[in-house]
A and B are shown apart, each in its own frame.
Chain A
Amino acid sequence: MIDRQPIDTYARQISDEKQTSVITGSTASTDKRFNALFTDYADPDSLRKLAAKIKDHTLHHLDTYLEQAEASLQRNGVTVHFADSGDDARETVLNILRGHEVTQLTKSKSMASEEIHLNPYLIENGIEVLESDLGEFIIQLDGDEPSHIVRPIIHKNRREIARTFQREGIAEDYNDDPGTITRRARVHLREKYMLAQAVITGGNFISAESGRLVLVTNEGNTRFGMAPSKVHIALVGIEKLVPTDRDLGVFLNLLGRSATGQQLTVYTEFISGPKDDSQPSGPEHMHVVFMNHGRTDVLDSNCREILRCIRCSACQNVCPVYRQASGHAYRSPYGGPIGAVLSPLLFGDRFPELADLPKASSLCGACNEVCPVDIPIPDLLLRLRDKAKRAHIPQPGDLPMTPFATLATSPSLWRTAMTMSKAMNHLPIQVAPVRPLQDWLGQRTLPDWHGGDFRKWLKARKEK
């Protein structure tokens, strides 16, 4: 039996309820993005082409800019760390926390930390970690995984969340009004914020020139988390740099609009160092951990354009495959087209197991059209398919192509096969041991087979 691709299998297993949540959510985000960009700019396309060039320039000079960023941050009083592997990154963060005797912290949403499963590691080592983004907080309560880059609980509906709150004692009664849910989280998390000794964040951008770390959130959780904390640790991928502050304008204009249709995310914070004498409050110690975790392997591949990504999720929202399958089908923190490219590359040792992801696409190209940094995702998917093929990684859904190749390279065999296969009209083809074919035929009927008729017609056709 030739089976379905794993993503297909997953898409068939998820409940209608979950699929509705995902389709409704992602469709709405796609519409908002379009409206924001095309209302505000006459030619938004030129903006994303510009952003792509700036990112390419930065990546092609990454050694220079990383060195410059390090120097700028140090000049501002930030302690800079480098972590090559995921293990290095986890240990570095833990050592910093131990150095400051931190036992309790809040964490804002960070894809980098999801990549290396930072939370469970810190918790195992005796640190109390609280996710402060509403969606991530709910994920943490449920022991779930985020299924979307920007909206981690896009796959959950209000009823599930209300049940979670009741179960975990956040609320005494069941109430699934989104306003009430949010209010309850507000009250619960505030108390925790005030107790935290440290805050861990990601980083949306770092300007190499000034060493400014830019963090964007809508909820204000990062800001709140930093209010009582003495220590701020930012875990940042080495590709998150932009050359100058001026360049930040390009990316900030694109990020909010592409992600959620906002001209700017509500809180856009520029942090260039720990608290100095001019400030009444703020963390006294700031650490930036530059994490590699496979990024240099991507830089060394023919898919390096994917490192331009600013994690807006526009490609995920627009993708017809993601909409059907939801984010968990991609088996990594990154779902949708970005995940299909990034995950097999970033988690190199898991390549064989993730090599099916690039195949889960019709190459419709919508992901490239919405990408704020113009990543040619369909091209990269093809390159990765090629890589899997060359590595001889067998995958479910692969059709045996040898018989076809034999037929297609021999005209006489081809002719015979064409005529012979008219027999198919009388065979129950829907029971053929090819699951994708069965799926297809489950919803459609094939027209009668006319093998060889065209050749006959062409031959008999008189020249005019």
Chain B
Amino acid sequence: MSRDTIFQKIRSALEPIKEKAAHPGFEEAMLISPVRTAGSPVEAFSRNFTTVNGRVMSTLEEVIDLLRAQNHQVGYCDPSLMETLGRPLADAGFEVRTEYCRENYDDYDFGITRATGGIAETGSIILDDAHTSDRLAALSPWVHIAVLSRAAIHPSVPAAIAHLGSSRNIIWVTGPSKTADVEGILIEGVHGPGEQIAFLVD
């Protein structure tokens, strides 16, 4: 019933508007920030991702150093990324599990999942549910390591929107989870990761 009422009210409200605004149309170039997109997509991504306090890494040593420095021991790794990161980390002495057990969500210090893309302009990683083994694995651990292929980095927001695809759930992540609710002071790691890492691969 509400449906009909609402449509009726909308139509009667719109009726007196004689000149209805046309869609203005726009060139995508207008939306793109020249400063943020300067350089190659990988350069721009790295620069912007670092600005939002994410860390860009491309070697195993960098990952190991950070995990050790912050005293992290146990993590989850998407089974399909075991060769890339999981096994080398296990060899280095970390406990790497390939199953994410939701009941024990607090056990995991780090989570390794696949990013389906990146956005250079904003320093964002793109997680697509259809290719993420468990969304909580990318959210509950203090450290999230997103394995991102350099070729999957879109230059700009409009380009990323054009490639959203058909998945039911896509999320762009731009840095660690944060809040400034308490006196405007920036605190990272609110509900999600306090460390957001993009691990670049070819």
* Chain A partners chain B: yes
Q: Which residues of A contact B (CB under 8 A)?
A: 21, 24-25, 28-29, 39-42, 46-47, 50, 53-54, 56-57, 60-63, 66-67, 76, 81-85, 88, 92, 132-135, 138, 151-154, 157-158, 161, 178-179, 181-183, 185-186, 189-190, 193-194, 210, 212, 218-221, 223-224, 226-228, 238, 243, 245-246, 248-250, 252-253, 260, 262-276, 278-282, 290, 292, 296-297, 299-300, 304
Query: Contact size class for B?
Result: 35 or more
B173 & A266 in contact (Cβ 8 Å cutoff): yes
B161 & A263 in contact (Cβ 8 Å cutoff): no
Highest count of chain A CB atoms <10 Å: which of B7, B22, B180, B189: B180
| 11 further A-B pairs in the complex, CB-CB below 8 A; given A82-B6, A279-B130, A296-B13 | A25-B183, A28-B184, A60-B20, A134-B181, A210-B164, A238-B10, A246-B161, A250-B31, A252-B157, A267-B174, A269-B170
B140 & A266 in contact (Cβ 8 Å cutoff): no
> Which of A135, A220, A279 makes the CB contact (< 8 A) with B168?
A279
CA distance A272 to B174 in the complex (A): 21
Highest count of chain B CB atoms <10 Å: which of A24, A269, A274: A269
Please give, as numbers and ranges, the residues of chain B lying within 8 Å of A83 by CB-CB distance. 2
B135 & A281 in contact (Cβ 8 Å cutoff): yes
Please give, as numbers and ranges, the residues of chain B lying within 8 Å of A183 by CB-CB distance. 189
Please give, as numbers and ranges, the residues of chain B lying within 8 Å of A253 by CB-CB distance. 31, 157
B171 & A152 in contact (Cβ 8 Å cutoff): no
Please give, as numbers and ranges, the residues of chain B lying within 8 Å of A60 by CB-CB distance. 14, 17, 20-21
A264 & B174 in contact (Cβ 8 Å cutoff): yes
CA distance A151 to B52 in the complex (A): 20
A248 & B9 in contact (Cβ 8 Å cutoff): no
CA distance A153 to B17 in the complex (A): 40
CA distance A376 to B160 in the complex (A): 32
Q: Which residues of B contact A (CB under 8 A)?
A: 1-3, 5-7, 9-14, 17, 20-24, 26, 28, 30-31, 33-36, 48, 52, 102, 105-106, 121-124, 129-130, 132-136, 139-140, 157-158, 161-162, 164, 167-185, 187, 189-193
Q: Which residue of B lies closest to A43 (CB)?
A: B30
Number of A-B contacts (CB under 8 A): 256
B9 & A296 in contact (Cβ 8 Å cutoff): yes
Please give, as numbers and ranges, the residues of chain A lying within 8 Å of B132 by CB-CB distance. 280
CA distance A290 to B3 in the complex (A): 9
Highest count of chain B CB atoms <10 Å: which of A226, A250, A267, A271: A267
A290 & B135 in contact (Cβ 8 Å cutoff): no
A82 & B2 in contact (Cβ 8 Å cutoff): yes
Please give, as numbers and ranges, the residues of chain B lying within 8 Å of A271 by CB-CB distance. 168-169
B14 & A178 in contact (Cβ 8 Å cutoff): no
Q: Which residue of A lies closest to B133 (CB)?
A: A280
CA distance A186 to B182 in the complex (A): 14
CA distance A130 to B162 in the complex (A): 36
